[in-house]
Amino acid sequence: MLRRQRLSIHKPFVDTSTPIAPQAEKNASPHHILNLQQTRGNAYVRRMLDGTLQRQVPTKTIDFSVEEGSVITAGETVETDSPLEDIEQKIAALRAKKLKGEMPGGEEVSGREERVAEIREIREEIASLDAKTLGMTPEALKLKKAEFYAELNRSVPFYMQTNNADILYAYTRGKRNVAGQRTCNVTSLSSALEGLGVSSADFTGDKQLLSLILDEQQAAMTGISEKEEAKEIENIKDKDEKKKEKKQADIRARHERKREDIESWNLDSFRLPDFMQLVVIYVMLTQEIFLSGDKKVKALNIPVNDLKKMAVDNPAQFKETVQQAQQLARNAILKPATFSRYAGLFGIKNENKSLPDWKKIHKMGGWGRMRWDIRELETQIEAEQKKLDAIKGDDKNAQRARKTAQQKINSLKARIKRKEAWIDKKSSSDFTSLDEFEDYFPLDDYKALIEKTYLPLLNSGKQVEISMYNHFVYLIAIEDDGVTVHEVGEGDGKQKKISWEKARAAGYFYSYNVFYK
């Protein structure tokens, strides 16, 4: 029988800076994990709210014990006497429910919609808290809310940009870049919206027009697939007829699967990043936005009803107009100043800002990002080489293991060569040595600037999408030893911890978009 769950919040005391033993965390139940994580994270939050990083920090302990015979499982909650305790319990239950990464890159699917709805409900409860009613000082409640928001950010599901529908593709020197290679922007924006408890159901625009846009994009992508299939088959140079037929069959099968996927596109089942790609086209069709400094490039600004009438009376013109908007949209997603228009269609406010020293950080990213990537790849190669050297014997299993290990090493070396080629062609020549790079913006100064700018935003419950050099990510947390982000462009990017050294080298944080209700 499920009994009442007892939660008690102990009054703060002076010094709780003693580290938690790793074994204690290992043995903790899912509900107790919240207390362990908060003891670490909240100390940092408190120091920033107090305006000093030197102060010894109080903390609290949450007792999730229950009466003997009781059973509390992930997702279950019980009634308590305090709004704070109710929120504590709901967040603990939310964190205890693990979403399964069912798509490539570990992207979660099942339970995602329910997770976002729960985040929304909890955020509404946090917003309704009143210091006077709770018998707390405004500063104490501010701190408490910051703790809640920090935990909720770690509950936001992960998106992987390479899973995105191929809608906002673009062409570079005649080569088509699929949307999954260039939509980190709307993918991170989608995480920020879900962090506010917002879903595609909150879209306030004309859904009928959005559906018509989807129809046109499905037709366009089907046609592109057919042309690419024909070109790939034409380019087969193999003289062996059997091999040629095999390659042709593989190409046809691959494009057939692609067209089946395109046919399955549906507004009601679209992932939010895919839905957002259509929203960007919608904005380019219906709003007045200048996309260039000279105001020569601008969105189409056509009334919604005129577009819907055009779709019926003149389908060919509507098709051409949507494709024109798509061309504008695929460039607009590279301009963070336009993001307020997309978020606004979900009832969300947005601010786009740059740091005072943004040029210095961007400059460092231009020089350092690929060099840091190469450094990490070299470390991976060393680890793989040790594994290869450790393989003993000469039987088939050992030979197969050596071959697999060597292939992995060769793949990592190939990635390094591509990045070195990029450095030779595109990297800035602003720095002549690592020492010069290090002295240009000292790490302590960089860290202090980021903490001062971003911690107050996170503590107030706002959602942040940050820019780094040629990339966007969703910001989860800022801590003493680094930052945590959803790195939407990497397969292991869910809640990825980034050291301060890497953040600076890759140009993290030079500009940002803030989202809030």
Model pLDDT, residue 12: 33
Instruction: Give the separation between CA 381 and CA 99, rounded to whole angstroms.
Output: 32
Report the candidate in 286, 276, 285 with the shortest Cα–Cα distance to residue 328.
285
Chain centre to alpha carbon of residue 162: 12
Q: What angle do CA 394, 396, 399 make, to 5 degrees?
A: 60
Model pLDDT, residue 316: 97
pLDDT in tens, the chain (517 residues): 333 333 333 333 233 333 334 343 333 333 333 333 333 344 444 444 444 443 333 333 334 333 333 343 444 555 556 899 999 999 999 999 988 878 998 999 989 999 999 999 999 999 999 999 999 999 999 999 999 999 999 999 999 999 999 999 998 878 899 999 999 999 999 999 999 999 999 999 999 999 999 999 999 999 999 999 999 999 998 888 889 999 999 999 999 999 999 999 999 999 999 999 999 999 999 999 998 877 778 999 999 999 999 999 999 999 999 999 999 999 999 999 999 999 999 999 999 999 998 988 888 888 887 788 888 899 999 999 999 999 998 898 999 999 999 999 999 999 899 888 877 776 666 787 778 888 899 999 999 999 999 999 999 999 999 998 889 999 999 999 999 999 999 777 899 999 999 999 989 999 999 999 9
Give bridge partners of residue 463 from the DSSP assignment.
515
Residue 350 · residue 283 · CB < 8 Å: no
3-state secondary structure of 358: helix
Give bridge partners of residue 175 from the DSSP assignment.
172
Model pLDDT, residue 373: 83
Give bridge partners of residue 298 from the DSSP assignment.
290
Model pLDDT, residue 24: 39
Q: Which residue has the tokens 């207390």?
A: 35
Instruction: Give the separation between CA 487 and CA 158, rounded to whole angstroms.
Output: 9
pTM score of the predicted model: 0.79
